Amino acid sequence: MQKNRPVGWLSGAVVCGLSAVALGQTASAPNPQQMAAEIQSLKAQVAQLRADQGDHWLNQRRAEEVKTLVRQVLSDADTRASLASNGMTAGYNGQNFFLASDDDSFLMNISGQMQIRYIANFRSNDQPSPNVGSVENESGFEIRRAKVFFDGHIGDPRIIYKVAFVLDRKSDYFYAEDAWVGYKVTDGLTVTAGQFQDRFAREAWMSSKMSQTVDRSAVDNIFANNDNWVQGVALDWNATDFLHLGGSINDGIGSGGNPNVPGSSNSFNFNSDHVEYGLSGRADVKLAGDYKNESDVEAWSNIDGLQAFVGGGLHYEHAKPGNPGTVYAIPGGYDALTIWTADALLKYQGLGVMATGFGLYTNGATSAGSSSNYGATVQAGYMVIPDVLEPFARYEYIAPDHGIPGTNDIHIVTAGFNWFLHKHAAKFTLDAVCVLNNLNSASVLGTGLDGIGLLTDDPGKTDQVALRAQFQLLF
């Protein structure tokens, strides 16, 4: 209302003027022409004042709008400056989110993994069961994996690091899975120290993100201690374009594992493990193709030509004097443990095939502490709809040492399919696992297999079946 006061005052003046003219004319003879001229003059003055006042008001409004816009721009610039005070950039590179400096001296990639799983397990146990809690059927949902990853480099692209925090599915607390730093001595030679996944067995070393089936095989869980995290120092060397070598000095198989996982040596303190020293080594040979294609079993449509890789690994560890090893359930424990593995991976025109063999030997102070155990897997998948639908099948064979009381050979068959929404980043997997023999703790060397959906059978019972459905999201 403030902006209309001059116009109101002017209107009042016009009224007063017209009144004065009227009074003057009553005192003298009326002059219509003079009155019309004066009225016309006053109208012109009012119009001019209205126009001047209107422009002034519009200018004020424009000025306020400009000031508001400037404040918004400055505020946005301040926000960006706080992020980029030292040349910082942030964004999404198509695979993960990142923070980085513009001179590439600092990089942090942020990513995650989530696996939502449903399992229905069916056994032919006795009813009522002679074993407490050993019922016929079990089913339910679980968060098999929920992980957050941070990796990159600090100060120099040659100084690399990785930290992974994992939600334990049994206790709902977080623990560190990966926690290591590394240095790239050359383009092909890297030294790593801390807690890391030992490059020993192909399926264990292949990320759980890339699993062709709902989860890794029972053979891998038994012989490679599932994911096989260790604590120590590792060396990785791309010797040539067709030969990769790796090795580590560590605190023993499973020394970097989850403290809630049975069979983990859990050497989080230097004095709390049973291993005096552990040694691991692996060699990979590329027969055809590109090494970047050996990270999974899938034969994607963008892969050109034959991809063929073979490899092998060896792990040895020695127990501390007077403290026998107990990762594997060998009667009397063991003083030394040796595991070997050999594998092959083939991809061609939509077909992906992987085969693996294991041998596990223990030596003890007594004959009870010695054993020879073997296992093998072969699995294959074919893209019936490229990059969308992949049926697969897997066969496993476990041959524990029959000198261990209560053991028997085990045959396992798995079949199912993957429905890829965005390759491994968003996929649905459904499969069925059938154990054709009695599954008991002695035969799997004490390794718990509930993480992959398998449970212990009652004595003499066979043909356990587990139906598994899972959705995986990577971000």
Q: Which domain range does residue 334 map to? A: 110-474
Does residue 105 form part of some domain? no
Question: Are residue 310 and residue 420 in the same domain, yes or no?
Answer: yes
Closest CA to 282 of 333, 234, 352: 234
Question: Are residue 263 and residue 360 in the same domain, yes or no?
Answer: yes
Question: Are residue 140 and residue 71 in the same domain, yes or no?
Answer: no
Question: Are residue 59 and residue 177 in the same domain, yes or no?
Answer: no
Does residue 38 form part of some domain? yes
257-271 pLDDT per residue, tens = 655 544 444 445 676
Question: Are residue 114 and residue 79 in the same domain, yes or no?
Answer: no
Give the pLDDT confidence score for residue 42 in this predicted structure. Answer: 74
3-state class (DSSP) for residue 203: helix
- pTM of this structure: 0.79
User: How far apart (Å, rounded) are the C-alpha atoms in residues 363 and 335?
Assistant: 6
- Cα pseudo-dihedral 14, 18, 19, 21, rounded to 10: 140
Q: Which residues of 160-177 are buried (b: 16+ CB within 10 A; e: fewer)?
A: bbbbbbbeebeeeeebeb
Question: Are residue 78 and residue 131 in the same domain, yes or no?
Answer: no
Q: Which two tokens stand for residue 249?
A: 């000095």
Low-confidence ranges of the chain (pLDDT < 50): 1-28, 129, 132, 261-267
Does residue 90 form part of some domain? no
CATH code for position 166: 2.40.160.10
304-341 pLDDT per residue, tens = 999 999 999 999 999 888 778 878 888 888 899 999 99
309, 284 Cβ separation under 8 angstroms: yes
User: How many structural domains compose the chain?
Assistant: 2
* Burial of 103 from C-beta contacts in 10 A (0-12 / 13-18 / 19+): exposed
* Burial of 265 from C-beta contacts in 10 A (0-12 / 13-18 / 19+): buried
Question: Are residue 170 and residue 311 in the same domain, yes or no?
Answer: yes
Does residue 101 form part of some domain? no
Sorted by sequence, the CB contacts under 8 Å of residue 116 that are 6+ apart come out as: 141, 143, 144, 470, 471, 472
Question: Are residue 48 and residue 134 in the same domain, yes or no?
Answer: no
Phi, psi of 415 (to 5 degrees): -145, 145
Closest CA to 331 of 420, 400, 285: 400
User: How far apart (Å, rounded) are the C-alpha atoms in residues 282 and 256?
Assistant: 19
Does residue 93 form part of some domain? no
Q: Report DSSP letters for 143-188, one per residue.
A: EEEEEEEEEEEESSTTEEEEEEEEE-TTT--EEEEEEEEEEESSSS
Does residue 289 form part of some domain? yes
- Looking up tokens 């816009």 gives 69
Question: Are residue 304 and residue 240 in the same domain, yes or no?
Answer: yes
Question: Are residue 75 and residue 168 in the same domain, yes or no?
Answer: no
Does residue 96 form part of some domain? no
Residue 324 preceded by cis peptide, ω within 30? no
Give the pLDDT confidence score for residue 227 in this predicted structure. Answer: 61
Does residue 342 form part of some domain? yes
